């Protein structure tokens, strides 16, 4: 059986994801399996997922996935590079995945691969240029694009016959960035995964329109927030852009009160921690380097003044407390996404020392936490039990069997904390990880 890895968030699952699954079926045939490596209750942007990880797992399985494995918080709520590296490492650790598929704004795999090779290998000329742009105060993403453009000019000349030049422009769009990061991770890890790039169709990441067959996840989340009190109206708006199972589960959670969770549902905890914790404590959390802890704490202390100064456009949603905080703290150096990830790390308790310990261990995620499977996925699991290079965790209590591995214990504790925080935002008790078995469809 050919198994294809898909690294995803499904926040929420929409028609674009269904199209990706359809293209994968065309690549490996109906007998192939789709193994999804999905973020848990927090996403790569540092925001809480709209729906909990088990609801999103059920959605994925009902829409064509065969096996869903949780991407640990330390990799899920992280930079694109760490996110991609964690997913690739998990896919390889299963022992069953031979392919990886991902969407991109370009279908030119050769150009993406050529770009990834330069970024992964970091030749001296590129590294020097990158350092120059970082020293100018540019954020990493912008500095990397500028450095690659400079390096390409510095090394200009006719490419060898049959070779493809890197494309710095591909680093300006979100799915291309992730595609390059997947290819970098495959190269650095010497992973035996055959990449398949699938052209992304439909609305762009920042497009706010929801009245199309292929809306962006961003626009769906915005519409969900706007119509949070009117699930029926939301269903009418989104019915053309989401598969029926995905929309049905979203509306069902809204009606039952099991979801969704928005960033501002965590505002009391975020602002309370920023105002109560000493600066030296805040500085220990992952992502709080370079004076960011002090900037966030100072912005939190002035939040009342900032809120009174906000001017709202006619008909616009009132910004939440977290959005106001981010607007006040963001700078050219500190992009809002970096701030969100730092706040997520603070909420869960992930420190820079944690990341250093995980990196020193050198093998990425330390376990395969199974969130759900179908009949085909059960067959994959049987094969994984013989081939997997990491422990297979079916229930949270299984983590207790690996107490002799401090890295595994700490990494899993962050996952459990992330779930608890998400559940608390919905007024639900902690410890649900221990009471919830894998989803089976």
Query: Could you tell me if residue 427 is left (phi over 0), alpha (psi between -120 and 50 degrees) or otherwise beta?
Result: left
Tell me, what's the pLDDT at 313? 41
Tell me, what's the pLDDT at 381? 97
Tell me, what's the pLDDT at 233? 96
Tell me, what's the pLDDT at 15? 96
288, two tokens: 């709080």
Residues of the chain predicted below pLDDT 50? 157-162, 308-317
Tell me, what's the pLDDT at 363? 75
Tell me, what's the pLDDT at 31? 87
- Verify cis geometry, omega within 30 degrees of 0, for the bond prior to 260: yes
Angle between helices 231-238 and 217-226 (to 10 degrees): 150
Q: Is the pTM of this model over 0.85?
A: yes
Tell me, what's the pLDDT at 1? 81
């Amino acid at each position: 059986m050919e198994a294809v890895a898909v690294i995803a968030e499904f926040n929420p699952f929409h028609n674009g994801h269904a199209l990706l699954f359809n293209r994968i079926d065309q690549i490996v045939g109906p007998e192939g399996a789709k193994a999804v490596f999905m973020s848990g209750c927090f996403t790569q942007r540092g925001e809480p997922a709209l729906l909990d990880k088990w609801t999103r797992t059920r959605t994925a399985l009902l829409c064509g996935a065969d096996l869903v494995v949780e991407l640990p918080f330390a990799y899920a709520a992280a930079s694109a590079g760490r996110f991609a590296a964690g997913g690739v490492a998990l896919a390889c650790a299963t022992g069953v995945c031979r392919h990886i598929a991902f969407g991109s704004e370009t279908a030119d795999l050769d150009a993406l691969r050529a770009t990834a090779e330069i970024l992964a290998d970091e030749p001296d000329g590129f590294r020097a240029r990158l350092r120059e742009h970082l020293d100018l105060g540019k954020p990493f993403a912008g500095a990397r694009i500028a450095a690659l453009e400079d390096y390409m000019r510095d090394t200009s000349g006719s490419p060898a016959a049959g070779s493809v030049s890197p494309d710095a422009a591909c680093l300006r769009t979100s799915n291309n960035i992730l595609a390059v990061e997947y290819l970098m991770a495959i190269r650095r890890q010497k992973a035996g995964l055959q990449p398949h790039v699938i052209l992304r169709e439909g609305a762009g990441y920042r497009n706010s329109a929801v009245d199309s067959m292929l809306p962006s996840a961003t626009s769906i989340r915005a519409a969900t927030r706007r119509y949070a009190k009117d699930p029926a109206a939301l269903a009418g708006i989104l019915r053309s852009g989401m598969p029926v199972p995905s929309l049905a589960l979203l509306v069902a959670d809204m009606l039952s009160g099991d979801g969704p969770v928005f960033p501002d549902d965590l505002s009391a905890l975020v602002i309370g921690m920023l105002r109560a914790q000493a600066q030296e404590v805040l500085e220990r959390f992952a992502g709080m380097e370079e004076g960011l802890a002090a900037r966030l704490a100072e912005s939190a202390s002035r939040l009342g003044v900032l809120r009174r100064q906000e001017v709202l456009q006619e008909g616009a949603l009132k910004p939440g407390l977290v959005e106001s905080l981010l607007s006040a703290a963001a700078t050219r150096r500190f992009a809002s996404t970096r701030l969100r990830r730092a706040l997520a790390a603070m909420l869960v308790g992930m420190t820079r020392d944690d990341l250093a310990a995980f990196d020193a261990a050198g093998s990425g995620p330390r376990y395969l936490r199974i969130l759900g499977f179908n009949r085909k996925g059960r067959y994959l699991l049987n094969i994984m039990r013989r081939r997997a290079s990491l422990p297979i965790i079916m229930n949270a209590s299984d983590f207790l069997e690996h107490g002799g591995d401090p890295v595994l214990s700490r990494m899993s504790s962050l996952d459990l904390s992330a779930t608890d925080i998400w559940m608390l935002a919905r007024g639900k008790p902690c410890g649900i990880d221990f009471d919830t078995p894998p989803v089976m469809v």
